[in-house]
């Protein structure tokens, strides 16, 4: 459409896309003013073309599939390729609603195309999509963050076959090839358009189901990996506790003999031999610090990194204990602690005198974790999260994202703060205590 109807059409399409991305998918607008200006410029360009070149039908037909969808990657954060494909898919859905409306209207007037308003069929299709998106937006208002994170992880290629099918149905559907006289051809064509509209609805349903299944499959795979890590941490903690218990039993077994030997040396008044015996006795078993946080997963991860810190000459300070009524799953706690302590350990290992601090406190229904570490340089923060300094960015930096997702799933969040004295502090807030008493 061109002229004023084209501008109205562009407005309705833009409103649909804005509601889809912001209201349903949970996309946030970009903070970069240059990107926002580029998105607005794309929309204005489309508006100018429909007014300045009203006769360029082919030009507008293909441009309408890209604009305003092309403006969405500039307006919203996220992967530009995914935003563009989702935008184009939405425009095709509106076009199929238009096709369905034309078919229904044509049947209603018994094939008299002079009584079919092709402008209003598109308006009604766009407004119908707008109403439907509004209802969905209200229904998923508390799940937008999860939907956004799942959408960003979906592969771009899953949209391609569905988008191609929608495009073919919209622009190259079957036509009546019989006698063109009378209303029969228009009625048959209307039935074809209605059929295409229902086929498009099925395709859209398959697309939604496919995206949901792929997202759930990836989430299950992620949870499986995390559960395996959690089991490894627990197994290591049991092994470590078993070793400590065996050392203690051995020491207790020889306790009386050592006491008698020390007493004998003291009675002989041989201070040198007494000092040597005490020194040798202290070296019988390696001195190990075992951290106790009132949580098996917390103990396992802290003791593992405690051992790594001792080997690297890093000072690890642990304060506080987890509450008894902790409702956070072991898997979620493992995700947060393992990633936070891993990053803290790696950063502190680069310092001459590295230090890592861990503190856990609970108040009311919240648990507050603070993980601090010395660092040689201030990390770059992007979207509130530190950017990985490793060469392979695609396969790194996932841990911090998992931390944020897990914290938000448990009613909290994660923040990173840099202190000028070369200290990085990570604060994790979780709603994870079943009672409301202060501890």
Q: Do 221 and 304 fall within a single domain?
A: no
> The domain containing residue 431 runs over which residues?
299-439
d(Cα 100, Cα 170) in Å, to the nearest integer? 10
Residue 219, pLDDT above cutoff 80: no
Q: Do 73 and 205 fall within a single domain?
A: yes
Q: Do 194 and 317 fall within a single domain?
A: no
For residue 224, the model assigns a pLDDT of 79
Residue 61, pLDDT above cutoff 60: no
pLDDT digits (tens, 9 = 90+) for 282-292: 655 545 567 88
**Core vs surface per residue 294-315: b (16+ CB within 10 A) or e:** ebbbbbbbbbbbbebbeeeebe
- For residues 131-141, give the mean pLDDT: 92
Q: Do 303 and 214 fall within a single domain?
A: no
Q: How far is CA 371 from CA 248, 285, 286, 356, in A?
A: 31, 31, 27, 7
Percent over 70 (pLDDT), the chain: 81
Contacts of 238 (CB under 8 A, 6+ apart): none
d(Cα 357, Cα 366) in Å, to the nearest integer? 20
Q: Which residue has the higher pLDDT, 54 or 84?
A: 84
Q: Do 49 and 165 fall within a single domain?
A: yes
pLDDT confidence of 135, banded at 50, 70, 90?
very high
Percent over 90 (pLDDT), the chain: 19
Q: Is residue 275 part of a domain?
A: no
d(Cα 165, Cα 204) in Å, to the nearest integer? 10
* Of 75, 90, 77, residue with least CA distance to 16: 90
Domain boundary among 200, 225, 250: 225
Q: Model pTM?
A: 0.63
Q: Do 74 and 197 fall within a single domain?
A: yes
Q: Is residue 282 part of a domain?
A: no
For residue 395, the model assigns a pLDDT of 47
pLDDT digits (tens, 9 = 90+) for 179-199: 556 677 778 777 887 888 788
Q: Which residue has the higher pLDDT, 216 or 359?
A: 359
pLDDT confidence of 176, banded at 50, 70, 90?
low
Residue 439, pLDDT above cutoff 50: no
Q: Do 203 and 345 fall within a single domain?
A: no
Q: Do 310 and 412 fall within a single domain?
A: yes
Q: Is residue 265 part of a domain?
A: no
For residue 179, the model assigns a pLDDT of 53
Q: Is residue 394 part of a domain?
A: yes
- For residues 79-84, give the mean pLDDT: 89
CB–CB of 193/173 below 8 Å?
A: yes
Domain boundary among 180, 203, 225: 225
Residue 130, pLDDT above cutoff 90: yes
Residue 400, pLDDT above cutoff 90: no
For residue 163, the model assigns a pLDDT of 78
- For residues 334-355, give the mean pLDDT: 90
Q: Do 215 and 356 fall within a single domain?
A: no
Bridge partners, 368 (sequence order): 361, 429
Q: Of 21-35, 183-197, 312-326, where does mean pLDDT reach its minimum?
A: 183-197
Q: How many domains does the chain fold into?
A: 2
Q: Do 312 and 407 fall within a single domain?
A: yes
For residue 434, the model assigns a pLDDT of 58
Q: What is the DSSP string of 308-359?
A: HHHHHT-EEEEE----TTB-S-HHHHHHHHHHHHHHHHHHHTTSTT-EEEEE
Q: Is residue 149 part of a domain?
A: yes
Joined tokens for residue 131: 């109403």
Q: Which residue has the higher pLDDT, 273 or 311?
A: 311
- For residues 5-11, give the mean pLDDT: 85
Residue 109, pLDDT above cutoff 50: yes
pLDDT confidence of 74, banded at 50, 70, 90?
very high
d(Cα 160, Cα 210) in Å, to the nearest integer? 12
d(Cα 258, Cα 239) in Å, to the nearest integer? 28
Q: Is residue 268 part of a domain?
A: no
Q: Do 124 and 219 fall within a single domain?
A: yes
Q: What is the DSSP string of 57-125?
A: HHHHHHHHHHTTGGGHHHHB-S-HHHHHHHHHHHHHHHHHHHHHHHHHHHHHTTT-GGG--HHHHHHHH
Interior CA angle at 70 toward 65 and 71, to 5°?
A: 130
d(Cα 83, Cα 81) in Å, to the nearest integer? 5
Interior CA angle at 172 toward 166 and 176, to 5°?
A: 130
Burial of 197: CB neighbours in 10 Å, binned 0-12, 13-18, 19+: buried
Q: Which CATH number characterizes residue 361's domain?
A: 3.30.565.10
pLDDT confidence of 116, banded at 50, 70, 90?
confident
Domain boundary among 193, 225, 257: 225
Joined tokens for residue 184: 């029969």
- For residues 141-157, give the mean pLDDT: 83
- For residues 419-428, give the mean pLDDT: 87
Q: Is residue 277 part of a domain?
A: no
pLDDT confidence of 374, banded at 50, 70, 90?
very high
- For residues 109-113, give the mean pLDDT: 83
Q: Do 218 and 312 fall within a single domain?
A: no
pLDDT digits (tens, 9 = 90+) for 231-284: 776 676 666 666 666 665 666 666 667 677 777 777 777 677 777 777 776 655
- H helices present in 140-268, as ranges: 144-153, 159-171, 184-253, 255-267
Q: Is residue 249 part of a domain?
A: no
């Amino acid at each position: 459409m061109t002229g004023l109807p084209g501008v109205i059409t562009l407005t309705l399409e833009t409103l649909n896309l804005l509601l889809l991305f912001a209201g349903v998918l949970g996309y946030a607008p970009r903070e970069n003013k240059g990107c926002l200006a580029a998105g607005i410029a794309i929309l204005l360009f489309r508006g100018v073309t429909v007014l300045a070149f009203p006769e360029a039908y082919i030009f507008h037909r293909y441009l309408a599939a890209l604009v305003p969808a092309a403006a969405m990657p500039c307006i919203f954060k996220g992967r530009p390729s995914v935003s563009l494909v989702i935008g184009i898919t939405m425009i095709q859905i509106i076009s199929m609603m238009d096709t369905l409306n034309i078919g229904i209207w044509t049947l209603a007037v018994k094939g008299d195309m002079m009584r079919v308003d092709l402008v209003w069929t598109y308006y009604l299709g766009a407004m119908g999509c707008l109403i439907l998106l509004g209802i969905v937006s209200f229904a998923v208002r508390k799940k937008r963050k999860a939907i956004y994170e799942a959408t960003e992880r979906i592969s771009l290629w899953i949209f391609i076959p569905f988008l191609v099918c929608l495009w073919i149905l919209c622009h190259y559907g079957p036509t009546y090839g019989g006698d063109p006289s009378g209303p029969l051809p228009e009625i048959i064509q209307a039935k074809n358009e209605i059929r295409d509209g229902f086929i498009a609805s099925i395709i859209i349903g398959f697309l939604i189901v496919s995206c949901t299944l792929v997202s759930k499959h990836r989430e299950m795979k992620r949870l499986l990996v995390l559960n395996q890590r959690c089991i490894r941490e627990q197994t290591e903690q049991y092994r470590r506790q078993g070793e400590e218990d065996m050392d203690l039993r051995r020491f207790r077994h020889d306790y009386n003999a050592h006491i008698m030997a020390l007493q004998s040396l003291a009675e002989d008044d041989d201070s040198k031999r007494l000092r040597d015996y005490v020194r040798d006795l202290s070296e019988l078993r390696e001195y190990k610090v075992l951290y106790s946080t009132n949580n098996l997963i917390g103990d396992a991860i802290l003791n593992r990194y405690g051992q790594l810190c001792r080997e690297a000459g890093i000072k690890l300070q642990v304060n506080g204990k987890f509450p008894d009524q902790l409702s956070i799953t072991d898997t979620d706690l493992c995700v947060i602690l393992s990633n936070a302590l891993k990053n803290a350990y790696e950063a502190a290992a680069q310092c001459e005198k590295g230090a890592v601090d861990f503190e856990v406190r609970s108040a009311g229904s919240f648990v507050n974790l603070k993980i601090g570490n010395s660092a040689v340089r201030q990390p770059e923060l992007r979207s509130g999260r530190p950017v990985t300094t490793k060469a392979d960015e695609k396969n790194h930096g996932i841990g911090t994202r998992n931390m944020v997702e897990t914290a938000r799933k448990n009613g909290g969040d994660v923040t990173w703060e840099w202190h000028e004295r070369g200290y990085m502090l990570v604060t994790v807030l979780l709603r994870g205590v079943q009672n409301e008493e202060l501890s």
